[in-house]
Chains A and B, each alone.
Chain A
Amino acid sequence: MTEAIADLGRAMRAAPALFRVAFADVVAYRAEMAIWVLSATMPLIMLAMWNAVAAEGPVAGFGQTEIARYFAATLVVRQLTGAWILWQLNYLIRHGGLSPLLLRPMSPLLYEAASMLSAMPFRIVILMPFLGLLVAWRPELWATPSLPSLALFAVSVSLAWMLSFLVQALFGMASFWLDQSLGLFGVWFAAWGLFSGYVAPTALFPEGVQPVLYWLPFRGMLGLPVEILGGFLDWRAALPEVGIQLGWVVVIGVIVRYTWKRGVIRYGAHGA
Chain B
Amino acid sequence: MIRVRELTKVYRVPIKQPGLWNSVRSIWYREFREVRAVDGISFDIEPGERIGFLGPNGAGKTTALKMMTGLLHPTSGEVAVAGFRPQDRHAAFLKQITLVMGQKQQLLWDLPPLETFALNRALFDIPKAKFHETLDELTELLDMKDFLDQPARNLSLGQRMRAELAAALLHRPHILFLDEPTIGLDVQVQADVRRFVAEYNRRHQATILLTSHDMTDVSAIARRILLIDHGVVRFDGSLADLSRKFGGGRRVVVQGPLDRLAALGFVAEEGRCVATVDRDKVNELLHAVLQVVPSADLTVEDPPLEEVIRRAFGEAREKHAAAGGAR
Enumerate chain A interface residues (CB-CB to B < 8 A).
Answer: 3, 6-7, 10, 13-14, 16-18, 20-21, 24-25, 28-29, 96-97, 99-100, 102-106, 111, 265, 268-269, 271
Distance in Å from the Cβ of A28 to the closest Cβ of chain B?
4
CB-defined A-B contacts under 8 Å, sample of 15: A7-B91, A17-B122, A18-B119, A20-B118, A21-B115, A21-B118, A29-B110, A99-B66, A100-B105, A103-B98, A104-B94, A104-B123, A105-B125, A265-B73, A271-B63
Interface size for B (C-beta < 8 A) is 36
- The residue from A17, A102, A269 contacting B118, defined by CB atoms under 8 A apart: A17
Across-interface contacts of B94 in A (CB, < 8 A): 103-105
A112–B12 CA distance with the chains assembled, in angstroms:
30
- Across chains A and B, the number of contacting residue pairs, with CB separation under 8 Å, is 84
A269 to chain B, nearest CB (A): 6
Instruction: Check B327 for interface membership: any CB of A closer than 8 A.
Output: no
Contacts of A25 in B (CB 8 A): 108, 110-111
Q: Distance in Å from the Cβ of B282 to the closest Cβ of chain A?
A: 46
Q: B99 contacts the other chain (Cβ, under 8 Å)?
A: yes
Which B residues touch A16, using CB under 8 A?
A: 122
Q: Is the CB of A21 within 8 A of B124?
A: no
- For the complex, is B234 an interface residue (Cβ under 8 Å from A)? no
Q: Which of A13, A17, A102, A269 contacts B11 (CB 8 A)?
A: A269
Q: A3-B90, A28-B110, A96-B104 are in contact. Are A269 and B115 (CB under 8 A)?
A: no
A24 touches B115 (CB 8 A): yes
Interface SS majority for chain B = mixed
CB-based nearest A residue for B120: A104
Determine the chain A residues whose CB is within 8 A of the CB of B99 once the complex forms: 99, 103
Cβ contact within 8 Å between B123 and A10:
yes
* Neighbour of A105 across the interface among B69, B95, B111, CB < 8 A: B95
Whether A268 contacts B73 in the complex (CB less than 8 A), given A105-B91, A105-B95, comes out as yes
Show the binding face of B for A, using Cβ within 8 Å.
11-12, 37, 63, 66, 69-73, 89-92, 94-95, 97-99, 101, 104-106, 108, 110-111, 115, 118-125, 151
Most buried by A among B95, B120, B121, B123: B123
When distances are taken between beta carbons in the complex, the residues of chain A under 8 Å from B69 are 103
- A100–B70 Cα distance when bound, in Å, is 11
Chain B: which residue is nearest A9 at the CB level?
B125
Are A99 and B104 in contact, with the CB atoms below 8 A?
yes
Find the B residue at minimum CB distance from A268. Answer: B72
A112 to B125, CA, bound (A): 18
Residues from chain B with Cβ under 8 Å of A96 in the complex? 104
Known: A21-B108, A268-B71. A105 touches B115 (CB 8 A): no
Q: State A92–B101 Cα separation when bound (angstroms).
A: 16
Taken together as a complex, chains A and B put the C-alpha atoms of A102 and B106 apart, in Å, by 11
Max count, chain A CB within 10 A of own CB: residue among B71, B110, B120: B71
Q: Which residues of A contact B73 (CB under 8 A)?
A: 265, 268
Distance from B7 Cβ to chain A, minimum over Cβ atoms (Å): 13
User: In the complex the two chains form, what is the Cα distance from A21 to B115 in whole Å?
Assistant: 7
Q: Are B11 and A271 in contact (CB under 8 A)?
A: yes
CA distance A24 to B150 in the complex (A): 12
Cβ A28 vs Cβ B123 within 8 A: no
Taking the closest CB of chain B, its distance from the CB of A104, in whole angstroms, is 5
- Within the complex, what minimum Cβ distance (angstroms) separates B216 from chain A? 26
- B101: chain A residues at CB < 8 Å are 99
Contact in complex: A105, B124 (CB < 8 Å): yes
List the B side residues contacting A111 at CB < 8 Å: 123
Q: How far in angstroms is the closest Cβ of chain A from B144? A: 19
Instruction: Flag if B151 contacts A28 (CB, 8 Å).
Output: yes
Measured between beta carbons, the chain B residues less than 8 angstroms from A265 are 73
Set of chain B residues within 8 Å of A100, measured between Cβ atoms: 104-106
Chain B residue with minimal CB distance to A271?
B11
